[in-house]
Structure 1
Amino acid sequence: MLTVTDNARTAVQDLAQQAGVPSEGGLRIAQSTGQPGNFELALVPAPQPDDQVVDEDGATHVFVEAQAAPALDTLTLDTDPEAQGPGFVLTPQP
């Protein structure tokens, strides 16, 4: 299952709060419809029924589209220190 770093967890919570996303909402990762092999990240008010909820102690609000889950199983979501503003990167799990 996708893992989420503490930095990414905090960034998701901050972004969701700033955007006025409900408490059950969060960041959804889905396969890109226009670019196969790429992923789209979006703030959503709630997970879709078939989404995988990445949840550690009820604090992580990251949802993974069912079709994208196998490709993300061995990855970690982290923040991108090089990004202008909030940015995320997917890296292999150690």
Structure 2
Amino acid sequence: MLTLTPTAAQAIRDLTATTPQPEQSGVRISSKGESAGSLTLTLAVAPEPTDEIVEAEGARVYLDPVAATILDDKSLDAGADDQGGVSFVVTDKLA
């Protein structure tokens, strides 16, 4: 299952804090088509019926079935640029 670093969890909490329903909002990672070649990350107020839910430190990530399979052994991290923009990166889990 995908894991979240503390930095990613904080970034997700910050992004969802101002949504209409912050207690169930999260980010959704979904595939573009049936291909493992491209994933997108968007804000979501709730999971889709087939989504896998990953929760850590008060942050929620919703994964569509293809994304859940692709990211099963990965970790999600986050960083900020000089202008305060947030970027997410997927890495291999640390042993």
Pairwise same-fold verdict (TM > 0.5)? yes
Deviations 1:34-86 (A, max 9, x none): x85111000011001110000246x2211111121111011100013557511
CA contact 1:5–1:76 (8 Å) conserved in 2: yes
* Length, aligned pairs only: 91
The percentage of aligned residue pairs carrying the same residue is 34
| Alpha-carbon distance between aligned partners in 1 of 2:36 and 2:92, rounded to the nearest angstrom | 19
TM normalised by structure 1 equals 0.84
Q: Structure 1, residues 5-25: CA drift from partner, whole Å, max 9, x if none?
A: 11000100101113x241211
- Aligned twin of 1:9: 9
1:41 paired to 2:46: no
DSSP-derived class of the 2:17 partner: helix
The question of 1:70 aligning with 2:65 is answered no
- SS of structure 1 residue aligned to 2:41: strand
Alignment of 1:50-65 (within 5 A): 50-56=50-56, 59-65=58-64
Aligned partner of residue 88 in structure 1, secondary structure: strand
Contact 1:79 1:87 in 2 (8 A): yes
Considering fraction of residues, name the structure with more strand: 2
- Off by >2 Å, runs of 4+ in structure 1: 80-84
**CA RMSD between the two structures:** 2.0
Cα distance in 2 between the residues matched to 1:63 and 1:82: 24
Aligned with 1:61: secondary structure? strand
Gap runs ≥5 in structure 2: none
Mapped to 1, the partners of 2:66 and 2:32 lie a distance apart of: 11
Structure 1 unmatched runs, 5+: none
Contact 1:24 1:45 in 2 (8 A): yes
